Amino acid sequence: MENLKLVNLVIELIKENHKVLNQILQEDKTVNSFEFDVQRLIDLIKKFKNQKAITKTKQKILVEHYGNPYITALLCMESLINQTDLIIGIEDCCYGLNRAIVKIVNEVGQGEKILLENNLTCEEIEKINPDKMVCLGNSNAYMRFRKMKNRKVQNIPLFNLTLYYDSEIYEELAQTIRNYAIQNFYEIEIFDETEEFEEVMEEMKGIQNQYCAVILSKNKEKQERFRQEMEANLVCVNENPFAKFEWEIPKEVF
């Protein structure tokens, strides 16, 4: 079945089940405060209409992430298009919504090539015996699983942020950014006005595979140095970092 038809079928099922998805979201919100929008989900899935398969060999891939339902949807679509057996591991985050998304994509794929597991243990992973194992934007899981014997675990950061602010006037804004990041299961580290700028710069520049680096400051010299020296996919100076996020799964996963 061509990709365009697969994508359209997924979108059709999402539209048919939008009330159910919203109801499940309300149930999930008793545990997580994640903000979910069905139209946003549809818009993300539309991007797959022209995507070609990238997997050259059949694999069983295990991807552990925190549980952002949009990430689960993107992983499911990659699995559907690449015809890859996929196990998605999450950590008690929006379990109902994640499970519903997986069910919809499996229905289109006419099988259960995608499985959803909650709070996987090392013993359970050994039983699954994946060909490839990735911790996607979940460094905590990577720290747990990296010492497994005879099992290579790949750590791929996703939407990880570092933020520095040099004045108390930005404290409330920094807290708002932190809360939004946590609510959406993004990893974030914050440096504040009590820390020396030079030391912060060195530490932030030393972070590998950094997705987004943010500075909140009125100091023009600091702003310019941050723009010139910071290594990250996104460098934001006194602006909303989340407005620039590009939702896609890194090609290394599949």
On whether both 186 and 138 belong to a single domain, the answer is no
Establish if 248 belongs to a structural domain. Answer: no
**Domain final residue, candidates 138, 156, 174:** 156
Q: What is the pLDDT of residue 56?
A: 61
Residue 160 has what pLDDT? 92
Which residues neighbour 176 within 8 Å (Cβ) at sequence distance 6 or greater?
none
Residue 249 within any structural domain of the chain:
no
Q: Low-confidence residues of the chain, pLDDT below 70?
A: 1, 55-57
Q: What residue numbers bound the domain in which 79 lies?
A: 3-156
Burial string for 232-251 (b: 16+ CB within 10 Å, else e) reads bebbbeeeebbeebeeebee
pLDDT for 183: 86
In a domain, 64, yes or no: yes
pLDDT at res. 185: 85
**For 215-239, what is each residue's pLDDT tens digit?**
999 999 999 999 999 999 999 999 9
What is the number of alpha carbons within 13 Å of residue 140 lying toward its C-beta?
A: 12
**Can you give the pLDDT at residue 149?**
85
Identify the CATH number of the domain in which residue 201 sits. Answer: 3.40.309.10
pLDDT for the residue 110: 84
∠ Cα 30 33 38 (to 5°): 105
Residue 80 sits in the same domain as residue 191: no
CATH number of the CATH domain containing 146:
3.40.605.10
- How far is residue 81's CA from residue 254's CA, in Å, rounded to a whole number? 11
pLDDT digits (tens, 9 = 90+) for 117-164: 999 999 999 999 999 999 999 999 999 999 888 889 999 989 999 999
Pick from 124, 156, 188: which residue ends a domain?
156
58 and 149 share one domain:
yes
What is the model's pLDDT at position 178?
A: 94
The pLDDT mean for the chain works out to 92
What are the start-end ranges of the E strands in the chain? 60-64, 85-90, 114-118, 132-136, 153-156, 161-165, 188-191, 212-216, 234-237
